[in-house]
Structure formats: structure tokens, C-alpha cells
Amino acid sequence: MEKWYSIRMRASEGGPHEKGGRHISGAERIIKEKELEQIAANMIKRALTHSRGEPDFISLKVDKIEQEAVHIISPITIQKIDNKGQDETKAVLKKLLAPLPLKEEVLFFLYDWMIEDDQTRGAIIVDIHSGKRIDNQGLRGVRVSHFDWDKSFQEKWIQNKKDFHNERRLEAVALASKVAKAGTICELCCSDDPEYTTGYVTFQHTYVQIPNMKKKDVPRGGRVFLVDASTIDLDAYMNFLEKTPVLIGGSK
Ligand code: WAQ
Ligand code: MG
């Protein structure tokens, strides 16, 4: 039986994240033993060559995982919509998310927060009805972890998707697929990388790419997971997002 590992990298400048260091880069994979060395080297390279700056702290963690514990899930459906400029983004989001029980003032408050966030390392969990944050994780937020694509499944999946031969995008789709599977009603995402202005929202099991989510050259961004606080088991939800190994596609 093949051995599987979770491998995770995070890099920051001015000390480790938990001691106030500024986040530079992060990545993670679920891989087989024979891939470990190569992928560890790639992750270090990625940390050292990131557009957000030069890290002075890099953490690389490797954990063996039990094959039986791995959940296999399908990728979320992909869509793209037009958005001509950042001054139209709020109107685009409002129209797109109209089917949800989400008040305009809550949506706009969360959007404004997300595009300006330079503090929170993970995502915040917010009740879709009250608009209140419910995760109690402070600046750490909730870190979605232990997820990856099955590589041969991914090769087939991208064949008819010309815009998805892109590591960042593929990673975002995998994360969003796990987040949706956990019972999230809607996810809002904006990169904190200064040059990367395309964000996305997911709802009703669809990932909608939104150009001009923020203005260019802004090194801020964030993620929001909207849930129904009256029905969700918050501990189980967070445990699934942070700890349960999930592979997109493939088989055991
Ligand atoms: N779990 C939870 N939140 C995270 C995680 C994680 N593993 N990684 C990042 N975040 C939060 C954190 O607050 C970041 O500031 C924010 O999300 C953005 O992270 O189809 O690159 O890694 O072209 O900069 C979208 C692609 C890319 C859209 C998003 O996000 C497309 C991206 P980044
Ligand atoms: Mg980033």
C-alpha cells in the first residue's frame, strides 16, 4: 500500500506569522512518498521567489496520513462573469448573490473588509443572517488545510478548460471545492497578492471568477465563509476544513 503525506509550507517576513511576521506565501499538497523530496524543494523555491517579498521565516511540515481517512470529492462547477472595473464589483456581486438570504449591507460590509484585510491569515466564518463573525479565531482565522487534486484526475479535468493551466487557480478551485463540501453557503475570496486582481465567489456549488475584485497593486485581500449559524455544527465544520484530508477526483 502506498504511503500518503500532507506537506505544508508557510513563509513570512519579520519573524513567524504567530509573532507578527508579514505573510509572504503558503502552499500545501497531499502526495505520495516518492514525490516528497521534489515537492518540498518546489515549495521552498516558491516561498523564496514570491511577489510579496523575501521571507526570513519558512515553515515546512510533513505529516503521514492514513489512506482510509482521505475523502474523495468532486470539483466545484466553474463559471466566469464580466466585470469591467473595480468600481462595478459591488453591483456585480449584489446581482450575482441575489438568490441568497444575504442583506446588501452585510454583503458590502464584508466585501469592503475583504479587499482591505492585511491582518487575518485565514478565513473568517460569518453567519449569513446576522452578518456577525462566529469563529473566535482572531487574526489566525480558519485555515483550510489537507486538500489537493488527484493529479491524473486534474489532467483530464483541465483538458477542456484553457484558462485553468495555472497553479494558483487550480489551488483556489480545490480549496473552494472543500469549503463548499463542508456546508458553506457562500465563499468570498480576494487574493492578497498585489498583481492578482481576479477573485471569486462560490455559491450553489458553483465557482464564479470575478475580474477586478480589487484594484491592482494592493497587497491586501481575504476570505469569508458564510454559513447558517443556526444549523451548522461549528466545531465539526472547522475540524473538517482544517484537518480532514480531501482529494479532488480520483480514487483510493
Ligand atoms: N485557508 C483559509 N484562508 C486562506 C487560506 C487557507 N488555506 N489561504 C489564504 N487564505 C486567505 C488569507 O486571508 C489570504 O489573505 C486570502 O485568503 C487570499 O489568499 O480563478 O490567490 O492565497 O483566477 O492570496 C483566486 C483565483 C486566487 C481566482 C486567490 O488567494 C481565479 C488567492 P491568496
Ligand atoms: Mg496570497
Q: What is the pLDDT of residues 108-127, one digit of tens each?
A: 999 999 999 999 989 999 99
Closest atom of ligand 1 to 200 CA is: 28
Q: What is the pLDDT of residue 167?
A: 87
Cβ–Cβ < 8 Å for 212, 197? yes
Residue range 227-242: mean pLDDT, rounded: 98
The C-alpha angle with vertex 113 and arms to 111 and 116, in degrees rounded to 5, equals 105
Q: Which of 24, 34, 27, 29 is nearest to 2 (CA)?
A: 34
| pLDDT value, residue 68 | 85
The pick from 143, 192, 238 for probing ligand 1's pocket by mutation, whose C-beta has the most ligand atoms within 8 angstroms, reads: 192
Side-chain half-sphere exposure of 178, counting CA atoms within 13 A: 27
Q: Which atom of ligand 1 is nearest to the CA of 122?
A: 3
For ligand 1, atom 13, the nearest C-alpha belongs to: 222
Residue 194 C-alpha to ligand 2 middle, in angstroms? Answer: 8
The answer to whether residue 164 scores a pLDDT higher than 90 is: no
- Please name the residue whose Cα sits nearest to atom 33 of ligand 1: 191
Q: Which atom of ligand 1 is nearest to the CA of 220?
A: 15
Ligand 1 pocket: which of 191, 197, 207 to mutate (most atoms <8 Å of CB)? 191
- State residue 67's pLDDT score: 83
- Average pLDDT, stretch 82-102? 98
Q: Which atom of ligand 1 is nearest to the CA of 193?
A: 24
Asked whether residue 252 carries a pLDDT value surpassing 70, the answer given is: no
Region 228-233: what's the mean pLDDT?
A: 98
Q: What is the pLDDT of residue 111?
A: 98
pLDDT in tens, 11-30: 999 999 889 999 899 888 99
Q: What order do you get walking across the sheet with 77-80 strand by strand?
A: 77-80, 206-210, 199-203, 186-190, 222-227, 123-127
Of 10-14, 19-23, 85-89, 201-205, which gets the smallest average pLDDT?
19-23
C-alpha span between 109 and 131 (Å, rounded): 9
Q: What is the pLDDT of residues 119-154, one digit of tens each?
A: 998 999 999 999 999 999 999 999 999 999 998 999
Q: What is the mean pLDDT of residues 173-202?
A: 97
- pLDDT at residue 41 greater than cutoff 80: yes
Assess whether pLDDT exceeds 80 at residue 2: no
Which residue's CA is the nearest one to ligand 1's atom 26?
169
- Percent of the chain whose pLDDT exceeds 90: 87
Ligand 1 environment, Cβ below 6 A:
26, 120-123, 142-144, 168-169, 172, 175, 189, 191-193, 196, 198-200, 209, 221-223
Would you place residue 1 in the very low, low, confident or very high pLDDT band (cuts 50, 70, 90)? low
Q: What is the mean pLDDT of the chain?
A: 95
User: Does 83 have pLDDT greater than 70?
Assistant: yes
For the four alpha carbons of 181, 145, 209 and 185, in that order, the dihedral sign comes to positive
Q: Which carries the bigger pLDDT value, residue 16 or residue 167?
A: 16
CA of 29 to the centre of ligand 2 (A): 16
pLDDT band at 160 (very low <50, low <70, confident <90, very high): confident
- Which pLDDT belongs to residue 150? 92
Alpha carbon of residue 216 to chain centroid: 20
Which residue's C-alpha comes closest to atom 10 of ligand 1? 122
Q: Are 156 and 165 in contact (CB under 8 A)?
A: no
